[in-house]
Amino acid sequence: MSNTQAGMIFSVYQLGYIVSGVILSTLTDRMNTRFIFISAAFWSAAANLLFALYAHDFTSGMILRALTGIGMGGTYMPGLKLVAERFDPSTRGRAIGIYVGSLVLGASLSLAFTGWLTGIAGWRTAFICCSVSVCIGALISCFLFRGYRPLVRVRTEAGFSG
């Protein structure tokens, strides 16, 4: 595989991430955000696992990585919405800052953890472990969002209330 093809697999992931970010964020206004967040997390875990097991050439790698990006796009903004809904305006900024900080930390750990594990057990094993990690996160979030009810906002002349 050429360097260009390897780079394209990364690019198509970002493309899937952007497209699903826009679509799924919009859907949070109409559907239960908890459902979108958890489904997207499991989706990305499954796609990443399939990548580890079945990505053998450029085409399969590109398709499976795009599917992973689609899943990941459904966790970022919906997660942000869940945090924003949970906190009052007086503490919302700090909560979102901490949450976004954990996202960036997770992205950094993604590189460090995968790189470290690849050196020990190979990249396919590293990817499988990453999928297991996503499943753990998604399962914890199932319990965390138990009893979640979406905020109902009423549009007034001054904007949205609540």
Residues lying near other proteins in the complex (CB under 8 A) are found at 1-3, 6, 9-10, 13, 41, 44-45, 48, 55-58, 60-61, 65, 68, 72, 75, 79, 82-83, 86-87, 91, 95, 98-99, 101-103, 105-107, 109-115, 118, 123, 126-127, 130-131, 133-134, 136-138, 140-141, 144
The answer to whether the CB of 78 falls within 8 A of the CB of 33 is yes
Give the burial class of 154: count Cβ atoms within 10 A of its Cβ; 0-12 exposed, 13-18 middle, 19 or more buried.
exposed
Return the number of the residue (20 or 44) whose C-beta is nearest other proteins: 44
Smallest gap from residue 31 Cβ to other proteins (A): 19
d(CA 69, CA 74): 9
Return the number of the residue (28 or 44) whose C-beta is nearest other proteins: 44
Contacts of 109 (CB under 8 A, 6+ apart): none
Return the number of the residue (57 or 157) whose C-beta is nearest other proteins: 57
Q: From the CB of residue 109, how many other CB atoms can be counted at a distance below 10 Å?
A: 12
